[in-house]
Amino acid sequence: MTVHIGAQPGQIAETVLMPGDPYRARWAAETFLEGAELVNEVRGMLGFTGTWRGHRVTIHGSGMGMPSLSIYANELIRDFGAKTLIRIGSCGGMQEKVKIRDVILAMTASTMSTPSSGVFRELNYAPCADYDLLRAAHDAALAKGVGVHAGGIYSSDVFYDERPDLNEQMTRHGILGVEMEAAELYTLAARYGARALAVLTVSDHLITHEALPAEDRERSFGDMVEIALEAAFS
Protein backbone atom coordinates (compact mmCIF):
# COMPACT_ATOMS: atom_id res chain seq x y z
CA MET A 1 0.00 0.00 0.00
CA THR A 2 1.26 3.47 -0.90
CA VAL A 3 -0.06 7.00 -0.45
CA HIS A 4 -2.06 6.86 -3.70
CA ILE A 5 -2.54 3.12 -4.32
CA GLY A 6 -4.33 1.06 -1.71
CA ALA A 7 -3.48 -2.35 -3.16
CA GLN A 8 -1.93 -4.98 -0.93
CA PRO A 9 1.38 -6.70 -1.78
CA GLY A 10 0.90 -9.09 -4.70
CA GLN A 11 -2.34 -7.48 -5.93
CA ILE A 12 -0.67 -5.54 -8.78
CA ALA A 13 0.46 -7.55 -11.81
CA GLU A 14 3.80 -7.03 -13.53
CA THR A 15 1.89 -5.90 -16.64
CA VAL A 16 -0.20 -2.75 -16.21
CA LEU A 17 -2.42 -1.01 -18.75
CA MET A 18 -2.98 2.65 -17.92
CA PRO A 19 -5.97 4.55 -19.30
CA GLY A 20 -6.36 8.11 -18.12
CA ASP A 21 -10.00 7.74 -17.09
CA PRO A 22 -10.63 5.46 -14.07
CA TYR A 23 -14.06 4.57 -15.46
CA ARG A 24 -12.41 3.44 -18.68
CA ALA A 25 -10.16 1.26 -16.52
CA ARG A 26 -13.27 -0.35 -15.05
CA TRP A 27 -14.84 -0.82 -18.50
CA ALA A 28 -11.66 -2.38 -19.90
CA ALA A 29 -11.24 -4.70 -16.90
CA GLU A 30 -14.87 -5.87 -17.04
CA THR A 31 -14.71 -6.32 -20.82
CA PHE A 32 -11.33 -7.99 -21.33
CA LEU A 33 -10.19 -9.56 -18.06
CA GLU A 34 -11.36 -12.71 -16.33
CA GLY A 35 -11.88 -12.56 -12.59
CA ALA A 36 -11.19 -8.84 -12.43
CA GLU A 37 -11.04 -7.57 -8.85
CA LEU A 38 -10.92 -3.98 -7.63
CA VAL A 39 -7.49 -3.43 -6.03
CA ASN A 40 -7.47 0.35 -5.70
CA GLU A 41 -10.00 3.15 -5.29
CA VAL A 42 -8.00 5.74 -3.36
CA ARG A 43 -9.12 9.24 -4.41
CA GLY A 44 -11.45 7.61 -6.94
CA MET A 45 -8.58 6.31 -9.09
CA LEU A 46 -9.68 2.78 -9.91
CA GLY A 47 -7.39 -0.19 -10.47
CA PHE A 48 -8.38 -3.79 -11.27
CA THR A 49 -6.39 -7.01 -11.53
CA GLY A 50 -7.50 -10.11 -13.42
CA THR A 51 -6.26 -12.41 -16.15
CA TRP A 52 -6.18 -12.29 -19.93
CA ARG A 53 -5.56 -15.65 -21.63
CA GLY A 54 -4.06 -16.85 -18.37
CA HIS A 55 -1.75 -13.86 -17.91
CA ARG A 56 -2.15 -11.58 -14.89
CA VAL A 57 -2.93 -8.00 -15.85
CA THR A 58 -3.69 -4.85 -13.89
CA ILE A 59 -5.65 -2.03 -15.50
CA HIS A 60 -5.14 1.15 -13.49
CA GLY A 61 -6.16 4.73 -14.19
CA SER A 62 -3.50 7.41 -14.48
CA GLY A 63 -5.57 10.59 -14.38
CA MET A 64 -5.12 13.46 -16.82
CA GLY A 65 -1.70 14.94 -17.53
CA MET A 66 1.88 14.03 -16.78
CA PRO A 67 1.94 15.10 -13.10
CA SER A 68 -0.92 12.72 -12.31
CA LEU A 69 0.51 9.85 -14.34
CA SER A 70 3.91 10.38 -12.73
CA ILE A 71 2.48 9.68 -9.28
CA TYR A 72 0.86 6.39 -10.29
CA ALA A 73 3.64 5.15 -12.57
CA ASN A 74 6.29 5.85 -9.92
CA GLU A 75 4.39 3.89 -7.29
CA LEU A 76 3.39 1.06 -9.63
CA ILE A 77 6.98 0.48 -10.70
CA ARG A 78 8.89 1.33 -7.54
CA ASP A 79 6.57 -0.07 -4.88
CA PHE A 80 4.53 -2.76 -6.66
CA GLY A 81 7.05 -4.19 -9.14
CA ALA A 82 5.31 -3.32 -12.41
CA LYS A 83 7.65 -4.11 -15.30
CA THR A 84 5.54 -3.44 -18.41
CA LEU A 85 3.33 -0.33 -18.56
CA ILE A 86 1.20 0.45 -21.59
CA ARG A 87 -0.77 3.67 -21.83
CA ILE A 88 -4.11 3.17 -23.56
CA GLY A 89 -5.87 6.42 -24.37
CA SER A 90 -7.16 8.85 -26.92
CA CYS A 91 -5.24 11.47 -28.88
CA GLY A 92 -5.74 14.20 -31.45
CA GLY A 93 -4.49 13.54 -34.96
CA MET A 94 -1.98 15.98 -36.45
CA GLN A 95 -1.33 14.56 -39.94
CA GLU A 96 -3.77 14.22 -42.83
CA LYS A 97 -2.77 10.57 -43.31
CA VAL A 98 -3.89 9.82 -39.75
CA LYS A 99 -7.62 9.11 -39.70
CA ILE A 100 -10.25 9.04 -36.98
CA ARG A 101 -10.30 5.56 -35.32
CA ASP A 102 -6.71 4.85 -36.39
CA VAL A 103 -4.23 3.75 -33.76
CA ILE A 104 -0.97 5.60 -33.17
CA LEU A 105 1.99 3.78 -31.58
CA ALA A 106 4.23 6.40 -30.06
CA MET A 107 7.88 5.71 -30.93
CA THR A 108 8.94 8.97 -29.30
CA ALA A 109 7.17 11.64 -27.25
CA SER A 110 8.23 15.26 -27.62
CA THR A 111 7.22 17.70 -24.89
CA MET A 112 7.71 21.22 -23.56
CA SER A 113 8.20 19.94 -20.01
CA THR A 114 7.49 16.96 -17.75
CA PRO A 115 7.67 16.37 -14.00
CA SER A 116 11.11 14.87 -14.72
CA SER A 117 12.47 17.97 -16.48
CA GLY A 118 14.33 19.12 -13.39
CA VAL A 119 16.35 15.89 -13.32
CA PHE A 120 17.92 16.64 -16.70
CA ARG A 121 18.42 20.39 -16.28
CA GLU A 122 19.79 21.68 -19.61
CA LEU A 123 19.57 18.31 -21.39
CA ASN A 124 16.75 17.72 -23.88
CA TYR A 125 16.09 14.09 -23.02
CA ALA A 126 14.36 12.07 -25.78
CA PRO A 127 11.79 9.65 -24.28
CA CYS A 128 11.07 6.63 -26.47
CA ALA A 129 9.04 3.43 -26.44
CA ASP A 130 10.27 -0.09 -25.84
CA TYR A 131 11.01 -1.49 -29.29
CA ASP A 132 9.77 -5.03 -28.65
CA LEU A 133 6.42 -3.73 -27.40
CA LEU A 134 6.19 -1.34 -30.35
CA ARG A 135 6.92 -4.05 -32.90
CA ALA A 136 4.47 -6.49 -31.31
CA ALA A 137 1.74 -3.85 -31.14
CA HIS A 138 2.28 -2.96 -34.80
CA ASP A 139 1.98 -6.62 -35.78
CA ALA A 140 -1.19 -6.98 -33.68
CA ALA A 141 -2.80 -3.92 -35.26
CA LEU A 142 -2.04 -5.16 -38.78
CA ALA A 143 -3.48 -8.57 -37.93
CA LYS A 144 -6.68 -6.92 -36.73
CA GLY A 145 -6.93 -4.77 -39.85
CA VAL A 146 -6.74 -1.57 -37.81
CA GLY A 147 -5.23 1.54 -39.39
CA VAL A 148 -1.94 1.98 -37.55
CA HIS A 149 0.87 4.56 -37.55
CA ALA A 150 4.17 4.42 -35.68
CA GLY A 151 6.12 7.60 -35.09
CA GLY A 152 6.56 10.66 -32.93
CA ILE A 153 3.82 12.21 -30.82
CA TYR A 154 3.57 15.33 -28.68
CA SER A 155 2.80 15.11 -24.95
CA SER A 156 1.30 18.45 -24.02
CA ASP A 157 1.23 19.78 -20.48
CA VAL A 158 -1.92 21.82 -21.23
CA PHE A 159 -5.31 20.80 -22.61
CA TYR A 160 -6.50 24.22 -23.75
CA ASP A 161 -3.58 25.01 -26.05
CA GLU A 162 -3.11 28.56 -27.33
CA ARG A 163 -0.03 27.95 -29.49
CA PRO A 164 -1.21 27.46 -33.08
CA ASP A 165 2.31 28.28 -34.23
CA LEU A 166 3.68 25.34 -32.26
CA ASN A 167 1.04 23.01 -33.69
CA GLU A 168 2.04 24.11 -37.18
CA GLN A 169 5.68 23.30 -36.52
CA MET A 170 4.86 19.89 -35.06
CA THR A 171 2.73 19.04 -38.08
CA ARG A 172 5.54 20.26 -40.32
CA HIS A 173 7.98 17.94 -38.52
CA GLY A 174 5.83 14.83 -38.79
CA ILE A 175 4.30 14.61 -35.32
CA LEU A 176 1.40 12.17 -35.63
CA GLY A 177 -0.77 13.17 -32.70
CA VAL A 178 -1.08 14.96 -29.38
CA GLU A 179 -1.93 13.64 -25.92
CA MET A 180 -0.86 14.45 -22.34
CA GLU A 181 0.94 11.54 -20.65
CA ALA A 182 3.33 9.42 -22.71
CA ALA A 183 6.55 11.45 -22.38
CA GLU A 184 6.61 11.11 -18.61
CA LEU A 185 5.68 7.42 -18.75
CA TYR A 186 8.57 6.72 -21.13
CA THR A 187 10.98 8.71 -18.97
CA LEU A 188 10.03 6.87 -15.78
CA ALA A 189 10.22 3.48 -17.51
CA ALA A 190 13.74 4.28 -18.65
CA ARG A 191 14.70 5.45 -15.16
CA TYR A 192 13.53 2.24 -13.50
CA GLY A 193 14.42 -0.24 -16.25
CA ALA A 194 10.80 -1.02 -17.14
CA ARG A 195 9.14 -1.34 -20.56
CA ALA A 196 6.64 1.23 -21.79
CA LEU A 197 4.48 1.96 -24.80
CA ALA A 198 1.59 4.29 -25.63
CA VAL A 199 -1.19 2.83 -27.80
CA LEU A 200 -3.49 5.69 -28.76
CA THR A 201 -6.83 5.85 -30.54
CA VAL A 202 -7.36 8.95 -32.68
CA SER A 203 -10.60 10.38 -31.29
CA ASP A 204 -10.42 13.85 -32.86
CA HIS A 205 -8.34 15.67 -35.46
CA LEU A 206 -6.60 19.04 -35.26
CA ILE A 207 -6.49 19.47 -39.05
CA THR A 208 -9.79 18.07 -40.29
CA HIS A 209 -11.70 18.91 -37.07
CA GLU A 210 -13.42 15.52 -37.17
CA ALA A 211 -14.31 13.77 -33.93
CA LEU A 212 -15.16 10.18 -33.10
CA PRO A 213 -18.91 9.86 -32.42
CA ALA A 214 -19.71 8.80 -28.87
CA GLU A 215 -21.44 5.60 -30.04
CA ASP A 216 -18.26 4.47 -31.84
CA ARG A 217 -15.85 5.06 -28.99
CA GLU A 218 -16.17 1.71 -27.20
CA ARG A 219 -15.58 -0.32 -30.36
CA SER A 220 -12.55 1.74 -31.35
CA PHE A 221 -11.13 1.78 -27.83
CA GLY A 222 -11.65 -1.98 -27.65
CA ASP A 223 -9.29 -2.42 -30.59
CA MET A 224 -6.69 -0.39 -28.72
CA VAL A 225 -6.99 -2.52 -25.55
CA GLU A 226 -6.67 -5.76 -27.51
CA ILE A 227 -3.60 -4.46 -29.34
CA ALA A 228 -2.00 -3.50 -26.03
CA LEU A 229 -2.70 -6.92 -24.49
CA GLU A 230 -1.39 -8.76 -27.55
CA ALA A 231 1.79 -6.68 -27.45
CA ALA A 232 2.38 -7.24 -23.75
CA PHE A 233 2.35 -11.02 -24.06
CA SER A 234 3.65 -11.69 -27.56
**Any catalytic annotation for residue 21?**
no
From its phi and psi, is residue 35 left (phi > 0), alpha (psi between -120 and 50) or beta?
left
Dump strand ranges (E) for the chain: 15-18, 34-40, 47-52, 55-60, 84-93, 103-111, 148-155, 177-179, 195-205
Per DSSP, 128 falls in state: B
Q: Is 217 annotated as a binding residue?
A: no
87 in a known ligand binding site:
yes
Catalytic residue among 102, 165, 204, 223: 204
90 marked ligand binding residue? yes
**220 marked as part of a ligand binding site:** no
Q: Is 234 annotated as a binding residue?
A: no
Annotated ligand binding at 66? The verdict is: no
| Cβ neighbours around 153 below 10 Å, total | 28
With CA atoms as reference, report the closest residue to 93 among 196, 171, 184, 145: 171
What's the burial of 33, exposed, middle or buried (CB within 10 Å: 0-12/13-18/19+)? buried
110 is in an annotated binding site: no
152 is in an annotated binding site: no
Residue 205 assigned ligand-binding role? no
CB 88 within 8 A of CB 181: no
Residue ranges at the known binding site for a purine D-ribonucleoside: 4, 179-181, 203-204
Q: Cite the annotated binding site by residue number.
A: 4, 20, 24, 43, 87-90, 179-181, 203-204
Return binding residues for phosphate: 20, 24, 43, 87-90
Which residue numbers are catalytic? 204
